[in-house]
Chains A and B, each alone.
Chain A
Amino acid sequence: DAGVTQSPTHLIKTRGQQVTLRCSPKSGHDTVSWYQQALGQGPQFIFQYYEEEERQRGNFPDRFSGHQFPNYSSELNVNALLLGDSALYLCASSLTQNTYEQYFGPGTRLTVT
């Protein structure tokens, strides 16, 4: 049984560009959350998707947007990249929206130059 998978593993972008990160949840899970982990810090919640809608959102600007597909996979889009967006982006899935346990993927390391 595959766990949470994310692609790509690493990504280098230039300021002002746009980026799309992808996540496939653990089999049977229908809820996907995204977190940003800056170097040396704990993960920060970006948003959560359930039934193809954004259900919860953290304190991130509108440049961060997402999507969930009918197969429960998800994308995180970041527009107008800033140097400060450089971080490890983690995807987590859970069985349902109100299940306490979240399973994390290995993350996508984004570097903005």
Chain B
Amino acid sequence: AQSVTQLDSQVPVFEEAPVELRCNYSSSVSVYLFWYVQYPNQGLQLLLKYLSGSTLVKGINGFEAEFNKSQTSFHLRKPSVHISDTAEYFCAVSVLKAAGNKLTFGGGTRVLVKP
């Protein structure tokens, strides 16, 4: 079984400051890794994904994440946040080559961008 831990439940940050959201996972097999964003009263939108190759992946809206296999981490970063980045962010994993592609999510990190 897989599990995902998001170490911070809430992250307040000032506009134009950098932000890092931490994600650690546990799995006995190789996984795909994802970050999703959920704006208030909306569904989930994919920010970025790691499947293979370069451990630094870039996504939409200026976000990037780095996969660290030895530390089983997939932290999300943005160098300069905007008010519009206020949302909840979810890290998720999916098992490679499984029959089916279910996602296992972390508990989420709520980002509040202050002016």
Residues of chain A touching chain B, judged by Cβ–Cβ distance below 8 Å, are: 4, 31, 33, 35, 40-45, 48, 50, 55-56, 58, 90, 92, 94, 97-107
CB atoms of B90 and A58 under 8 A apart: no
CB atoms of A94 and B108 under 8 A apart: no
Report, nearest first, the 7 A-B pairs whose CB atoms are least far apart: A42-B105, A56-B100, A104-B43, A104-B44, A45-B102, A106-B43, A42-B107
Q: What's the minimum C-beta distance from A104 to chain B, rounded to whole angstroms?
A: 4
Q: What's the minimum C-beta distance from A94 to chain B, rounded to whole angstroms?
A: 6
Interface string of B75-115 (1 = CB under 8 A from A): 00000000000000010101001111111111110000000
Q: A100-B32, A100-B51, A104-B45 are in contact. Are A41 and B107 (CB under 8 A)?
A: yes
CB atoms of A107 and B43 under 8 A apart: yes
Interface string of B51-74 (1 = CB under 8 A from A): 100000000000000000000000
* Sampled A-B contacts (14; CB under 8 Å): A35-B105, A41-B108, A42-B105, A42-B106, A43-B103, A48-B100, A48-B102, A97-B101, A98-B100, A101-B46, A102-B101, A105-B43, A107-B42, A107-B43
Residues on B with beta carbons closer than 8 Å to the beta carbon of A94: 101
CB atoms of B100 and A97 under 8 A apart: yes
Residues on B with beta carbons closer than 8 Å to the beta carbon of A35: 103, 105
Alpha-carbon distance A10/B104, docked complex (angstroms): 25
- Considering the complex, which residues of chain B in the window 18-70 have a beta carbon less than 8 Å from any beta carbon of chain A? 32, 36, 41-46, 49, 51
CB atoms of B42 and A56 under 8 A apart: no
Q: What's the minimum C-beta distance from A31 to chain B, rounded to whole angstroms?
A: 7
Return the chain A residue nearest B51 by Cβ: A100
Alpha-carbon distance A48/B103, docked complex (angstroms): 11
CB atoms of A43 and B44 under 8 A apart: yes
CB atoms of A43 and B90 under 8 A apart: yes
Residues on A with beta carbons closer than 8 Å to the beta carbon of B43: 4, 90, 104-107
Alpha-carbon distance A71/B36, docked complex (angstroms): 27
